Amino acid sequence: MIIRRYLLREVTLNFLGVALLLSVMVFSTTLIRLLNDILEGRYPTDILLMLFALKGVGNLVFILPLAFFLAVMLAFGRLYRDSEMVVLGACGVRPGQLLRMVAMLGTGIALLVGVLSLYFAPWVDRYAESLVAEASARTEIEGVIPGQFNVTGEGGPVIYAESFDGEERRLKGLFVNYSEGKLQYQLTAEQAYEQIDRKSGRRYLVLMDGYRYEGTPGMKGYRIMHFREHGLLIQDQVPADATPPRDAYSTGQLLASSSPADMAELQWRLALPVGTLLLGLLAVPLSKTSPRRGRFGGLALGFMIYLIYNNLLLVAKSSLSRGEVSAYIGMWWVQVLLLALLWLLYWRGNRMRGPARAS
């Protein structure tokens, strides 16, 4: 019992440390991507923190399996390096006991990954989509950052404003640049406000008291026009029946569907917790090393197997979504291969444990 607690503590501490390190790396990448999208005008600035939290926690479904796999390899690798495994073997600890201990901890982590994969991650994707849609439906000019050039939508006009009056909800001191074919348009205005056409749903920026410069760069014949009000389309109507991404579908929707693509998404979600447990068990024989090789002796092989496994899952998912394989085969053949490798390594390890004792 004491030995089991000791081994569980070693694996758990390594798991928490590796999960924290991987989370920092993934969360940093997520934050950089979101900041880039906001600077390009895809998201309003006021939902940055919420999107970061949602997408960051949703990524745990990919972080935890790898963290558990590496934690088992690091923990058992240290025990082999410090010759503690030899002592444990002398105390009567057998490979089957190590396997049961890792299976017990791995089952708990796999259940957590299953909940995240089947329920939480799809909910995060749906909520993030609704959050972006709601924020985009409020206003475009709230996303304009004073003192810098802002792009409203993909290929939309570039807007520069000196300030934003929150009470009047108006931009002050504007410069706008956009093009239509070869013609370039530059507009300056004292202030501007947003107006939405209720029938079409289109958004217009209404500029007040300014000038419009129209012409082709490098050519003569520029036209200058003074205006009191000038309407500028900044967002066309967004279709109300836009189809959400498949990874945002609920698990219930996928279960009720017979589409190959939906089946592939469902089996992908199921493969994550199954793979978490199998990878944790596989890490036990892979971590076996000699003191001369050090703690990280088997990590290179472990990483290679992990990458091959994930790539095979992606290939199987793509084949299933295109209807090239039966749903009964689906992505399960990859798990069978991993299970066969696990059996082979344990069989080989038990076979090479040493010469048989004379009777």
Q: pLDDT tens, 292-316?
A: 665 565 788 888 999 999 999 999 9
Single residue among 208, 235, 262 that ends a domain in this structure: 235
In this prediction, residue 269 has a pLDDT band, given cuts at 50, 70 and 90, of very high
Question: Residue 358: inside a domain, yes or no?
Answer: no
Position 111 scores a pLDDT of: 96
256 shares a domain with 127:
yes
Whether residue 237 has pLDDT greater than 50: no
288 shares a domain with 345:
yes
Position 358 scores a pLDDT of: 43
- Give the mean pLDDT of 64-80: 88
SS3 241: coil
In this prediction, residue 268 has a pLDDT band, given cuts at 50, 70 and 90, of very high
Residue 328 in tokens: 């009964």
In this prediction, residue 153 has a pLDDT band, given cuts at 50, 70 and 90, of low
Position 273 scores a pLDDT of: 95
250 shares a domain with 110:
yes
What percent of the chain is predicted at pLDDT more than 90?
Answer: 29
For the chain, the domain total comes to 2
Number of other residues whose CB lies within 10 A of the CB of residue 355: 5
SS3 9: helix
Position 302 scores a pLDDT of: 85
Position 128 scores a pLDDT of: 83
Which of the two residues, 169 and 290, has the higher pLDDT score? Answer: 169
Position 135 scores a pLDDT of: 65
Position 354 scores a pLDDT of: 46
Position 241 scores a pLDDT of: 45
Single residue among 205, 235, 265 that ends a domain in this structure: 235
131 shares a domain with 30:
yes
When mean pLDDT is compared across 99-113, 229-243, 292-306, the lowest value belongs to 229-243
Q: Which residues form the domain of 169?
A: 144-235
Q: How far apart are CA 201 and CA 213, in angstroms?
A: 28
Question: Residue 116: inside a domain, yes or no?
Answer: yes
262 shares a domain with 119:
yes
Position 274 scores a pLDDT of: 95
124 shares a domain with 6:
yes
Q: How far apart are CA 250 and CA 263, in angstroms?
A: 12
332 shares a domain with 261:
yes
Position 233 scores a pLDDT of: 80
When mean pLDDT is compared across 11-20, 70-79, 98-107, 243-252, the lowest value belongs to 243-252
225 shares a domain with 250:
no
- Give the mean pLDDT of 194-212: 82
Question: Residue 256: inside a domain, yes or no?
Answer: yes
Question: Residue 357: inside a domain, yes or no?
Answer: no
266 shares a domain with 131:
yes
191 shares a domain with 302:
no
Question: Residue 356: inside a domain, yes or no?
Answer: no
Whether residue 30 has pLDDT greater than 80: yes
Q: Which residue shows structure tokens 């009964």?
A: 328
Contact 285, 297 (CB under 8 A): no
- What's this model's pTM, rounded to 2 decimal places? 0.71
Single residue among 209, 235, 261 that ends a domain in this structure: 235
125 shares a domain with 230:
no
Question: Residue 128: inside a domain, yes or no?
Answer: yes
Q: How far apart are CA 45 and CA 142, in angstroms?
A: 8
308 shares a domain with 266:
yes
Position 188 scores a pLDDT of: 92
Number of other residues whose CB lies within 10 A of the CB of residue 275: 24
Question: Residue 196: inside a domain, yes or no?
Answer: yes
Question: Residue 314: inside a domain, yes or no?
Answer: yes
